[in-house]
Chains A and B, each alone.
Chain A
Amino acid sequence: MSSPPAIQTERLTKHYRLGVTRRKIEAVVDLDLEVGEGEIFAFIGLNGAGKTTTLKLLLDHARPTRGSAAIFGVNCRDPRARARVGYLPDLPHFYRFLTARELIDYCGRLFGMKRSDRKERSRRLLGLVGLSDRADEPLKGFSRGMLQRLGLAQALINDPVLVLLDEPLGGLDPIGRVELREVISGLKREGCTVFFSSHILDDAQRIADRVGIIHRGRLLACGSLEDLLLKNPGWDVELEVSGDLDLEAVCRRYGWRQELSDGRCHIVIPDDESLKEFYALAASGQVRPQSIGRRQVNLEEAFIAELDRWQG
């Protein structure tokens, strides 16, 4: 029998009611998601897209309006689902009067770890996140970046098999981001599943195996990073334009994008249908293509393309 997925949601939905008028906010709508064991899954979307709410539903910080979510087959409403889960919140805040070592130890105790294991693991984790020399200082003196590092350490205290990270790269400096990406890759090598939300798409592209795009609570696309990037790569055309053609107006009409690169005129054609239209234009002699090639899109472009497609 195959083991259950690390994360599985079925029609997971969360509505909030806001204000005096009890206006309905659809934070997450019918989310069907499956994250396999051992993969790094990036959950990307704009601010307010529903990423954090999804994490809250997975951790039972909020109750679903309908639908269900399970971690390794255990319903998320059950505290046992979180026994092997590590979690780093967005903008982590901790008890101001505890020291870093006390906080890590406290978290270990909540997992039922033995004192000797807690001591050894907290020493190792504080070293990993570069806080060994600040371990006995109260957290009220910690910077945002230091709290982010400490948040990662507390998330790993129980040697988790699933780590949920909410915007983990947001508060870090460039070196910190590189280090965190290495930590995440290291977790994967150890067989850990990592689910992280982000709107820093460059980082997501560097480390994710699979990506889910969420917008206004709805999952627009979900699949491997490769599939997502190859889904609609588009065409990159370098061309010369005859004098009287208003290329800008043509691009606007066909939905192409005009770029200038190395002093040469390029247009980006989003799909094969549009390419046919370009060929027709080229046949009329108004433009002369110099080269046509498949375009390598990055995650940001794929993300924008998915959003454009959704908006029709």
Chain B
Amino acid sequence: MAGLNRIWAVAQTTFRETIRNKILLHMVGFAVAMLGLAWVVSNWSIGEPDKIITDLGLTITVLIGVLIALFAGIVLVYGEVERGTILPILAKPLPRWEFVLGKFIGFSGAVLLVYVGMNLILILLLAAVGRPITPHLWQAMYLSIWEIELVVALALLFSSFSNPSLSALYTIMLYVAGRFSFDIKLFIDSNPLAPSRPILEVVYGVIPHLSYFNLRQAAVHTLDIPWERVVWPTVYGVLYCGVVLIIAALAFRSRDLA
């Protein structure tokens, strides 16, 4: 129980600290501007402007969410070590894994709040152009949260032992590879005798399968989404984040705070 209270304290403080940072506000402003641009573009297009707004809007919100997760996430632990804000905190009876978990929860909460805010604006925009708000939309938005959470976890992992430049590089590489995970799988399945197959299988096993979380096209065209298409990616997202956080905690446990 004491451990949970400490984790919650770290999470709340991280949330406050992130939310009060003006950079986040600028990112939200940027997102609003991009959504406005999506609306303008949809007016210029021929036919079904609501679909264009839905497609562009869902893509913009998730991309902004990923950008925030990436650029704020890579300094989450590193920044604390560099500035020395971590020293008085880890001088308390706080195990390092609790600190890592608390940072993840708090930062995820802040990113989630921004993401939800951006999506509310998108929904208002869709309502304004007469697009019905169907469950497909909610499902697509929900699964995108896991895409962002995976980026938060990966950025936090690299931040716990590496500098921001390298952390950004590693996270972006995994994110891009993760977006193409289905193509890698397709290549493995269609080339069973390829010499690179064992390596690609390892790569496929390690990278985050971000395609699992992409329901945006189904939302745009209001295609049927079976329940397991939402549940299994959720389970995958929870497990992937869990494993990444365990590795982050182990990496951070043995680090000297110079």
List residues of A whose CB falls within 8 A of some B CB: 16, 56, 59-63, 79-83, 85, 87-89, 91-98, 102, 106-107, 109-112, 138, 151, 154-155, 158, 164
Q: Are B256 and A61 in contact (CB under 8 A)?
A: yes
Of the four ranges (under 10, 10 to 19, 20 to 34, 35 or more), the interface on chain B belongs to: 20 to 34
A158–B93 alpha-carbon span in the complex (Å): 11
Q: Are B93 and A98 in contact (CB under 8 A)?
A: no
A92–B91 alpha-carbon span in the complex (Å): 13
Q: Are B92 and A93 in contact (CB under 8 A)?
A: no
A109 partner residues in chain B, CB cutoff 8 A: 5-6, 9
Q: Are B6 and A110 in contact (CB under 8 A)?
A: yes
Q: Are B91 and A98 in contact (CB under 8 A)?
A: no
Known contacts A61-B256, A93-B84: A82-B91 contact under CB 8 Å? yes
B229 partner residues in chain A, CB cutoff 8 A: none
Beyond A56-B257, A87-B88, A107-B92, 15 additional contacts (C-beta under 8 Å) are A60-B90, A79-B95, A81-B93, A95-B13, A96-B17, A97-B17, A97-B21, A102-B16, A106-B13, A107-B89, A109-B9, A111-B93, A138-B20, A158-B92, A164-B91
**Closest Cβ–Cβ distance, residue B4 to chain A (whole Å):** 11
Tell which of B87, B91, B93 has the most Cβ of chain A within 10 Å: B91
Known contacts A85-B91, A89-B87: A62-B13 contact under CB 8 Å? no
B85 at the A interface (CB under 8 A): yes
A63 partner residues in chain B, CB cutoff 8 A: 254, 256
B40 at the A interface (CB under 8 A): no
A89–B258 alpha-carbon span in the complex (Å): 12
CB within 8 Å of A: which of B93-122?
A: 93-95
B128 at the A interface (CB under 8 A): no
Q: Are A111 and B256 in contact (CB under 8 A)?
A: no
Q: Are A98 and B84 in contact (CB under 8 A)?
A: no
Q: Which of A80, A93, A95, A155 contacts B17 (CB 8 A)?
A: A95
**Closest Cβ–Cβ distance, residue B77 to chain A (whole Å):** 14
Q: Which of B5, B84, B93, B257 contacts A91 (CB 8 A)?
A: B84
17 CB contacts below 8 A, A to B, read A16-B256, A59-B90, A60-B90, A62-B256, A87-B88, A87-B91, A93-B83, A93-B87, A94-B88, A98-B13, A107-B92, A109-B6, A110-B6, A110-B93, A111-B93, A112-B2, A138-B20
B94 partner residues in chain A, CB cutoff 8 A: 79, 110
A158 partner residues in chain B, CB cutoff 8 A: 92
